[in-house]
Amino acid sequence: MKCAYCSETAKYSYKYANSIIYSCSNHLENHYPIIGNHKINQIMQKIVFINYEMKEILIDRIKLLKVNAKLDLNDTIAHTNNAITKLSTDLKKFTKYIMGFIKSCDDTINCIEGFHGKIEEKEYYSPIESILIMQESDTLNLLRSPKIKLSPFNQQIIECTPSSFPHCLFQYSFKALSFSDENEIVYNDGKSEIKIPTNFDWAGRLFTIRKDLAMFTGGKKASSSVSVIDLKSKIIYSLSSMHQRRKWHAVAWIDGYPAVLGGHDDEKCLDKVEVYKNGNWEKYPSLTLKKDSCSAVSCFNKVYVFGGRMRYGDNPNKLKSIEKYENRSWSLLSVKLFSPMTSLGLFVSGTYIIIFGGIDENQTYLKDCFVLDKRNLYVSKINTKLEESLFFGNLNFLTFDGEVLIYGNDTKQNKKLVKITCIM
């Protein structure tokens, strides 16, 4: 209650004209001039008893808050320590990749210094040869170092986009090139997407042999035919036929020449390798295993072939193997893929070969990414994944403005242009 004359708490009350008047000590004298008998009552403060059970509950609750706060603090410390450990681990990974990239630069310089004076004249030169004879000097514009992104600490702290070096020195990388449907090819040069109707089909293989030239080998009905298409003029012309009819094979540069590897002849899987040298196909040492649907990539004087299958049908016997060509012979590496796979994507970056997508032994389309460390010979899975599960029949990349892009196909054979985003 408040005093009728001020806002102080009332300590007294009295009755006047059927009303109760409340007063503090300072204004109690106001009562005296009032005519009549007005009994003054002292207001007693009300007492409320504490519930001791609830008191204990409250204390226990506060103690629990303390316990939870300490647990949260411990979790925060542990999380921070884990973040530091992860950062340290990532730093080691990135350091290893960058040091490998630097080593790859040194290896490439040594490779280039091995060219003296002249190169044997031939119909199609490898990318590194075409630079040295001033045929495709634009390749120099594709050489990029790894693209490092340092992010704020509330995001992924370190991102590393794969470098196109040395891939673009051993595979032409001016255009992503594949099939848009069974008989139509499509390429993307970073500016536009161009489609070209052909009589080619998806079971053959497209292989970029110049900035604007692509070779097509084989076909859905296994074939020995070979064609070249000028991507600018859209003119197609034939080359001499291969010795072996094939489909679902791999293509790569071997000893500086376009080559076909393995495949299927409509009856069985193949281990045959042929190299196109100035108008004719030359038989080369065979793969260690007969297989189709494998993937191949060149780097320096070596070729790496990943996965594949040894049979076509209900029991395809897919492979985890990786084999390497060097000094005119093939050998199986001691390291293997994580699981049997076909139609993998491959890209060389520094001393790593990035492995992505493909189809596993259960016919599951994949989006996982791995790396083969060529120097230390181990395969490891990386955190990066493709945006979609895809397989890759034609490994023709576009390296554009620091990005790496390639066409893949989904479960419905629809083409997708995908970006290889991070190395870790």
How many whole angstroms separate alpha carbon 176 and alpha carbon 394?
Answer: 9
Dump strand ranges (E) for 119-171: 147-150, 158-161
How many whole angstroms separate alpha carbon 49 and alpha carbon 52?
Answer: 9
**What dihedral do alpha carbons 173, 357, 359, 244 form, nearest 10°?**
10
DSSP for residue 285: P
Q: Judge whether 289 and 310 are in contact, CB under 8 Å.
A: yes
Pick left, alpha or beta for residue 53 (phi over 0 → left; psi -120 to 50 → alpha; otherwise beta): alpha
How many whole angstroms separate alpha carbon 69 and alpha carbon 279?
Answer: 77
Instruction: With 0.85 as the threshold, say if the pTM is over it.
Output: no
How many whole angstroms separate alpha carbon 321 and alpha carbon 149?
Answer: 34
Q: What is the pLDDT of residues 257-304, one digit of tens each?
A: 999 999 999 999 999 999 999 899 999 999 999 999 999 999 999 999
Residue 373: how many other CB atoms lie within 10 Å: 17
How many whole angstroms separate alpha carbon 16 and alpha carbon 10?
Answer: 16
For 59, 73, 83, 154, 275, the CA distances from 69, given in Å and listed in that order, are 15, 6, 21, 23, 70
Q: What is the pLDDT of residues 321-354, one digit of tens each?
A: 999 999 999 999 999 999 999 999 999 999 999 9
Residue 178, both tokens: 């594949």
**Chain mean pLDDT for the chain:** 90
Q: Is the pLDDT of residue 38 over 80?
A: no
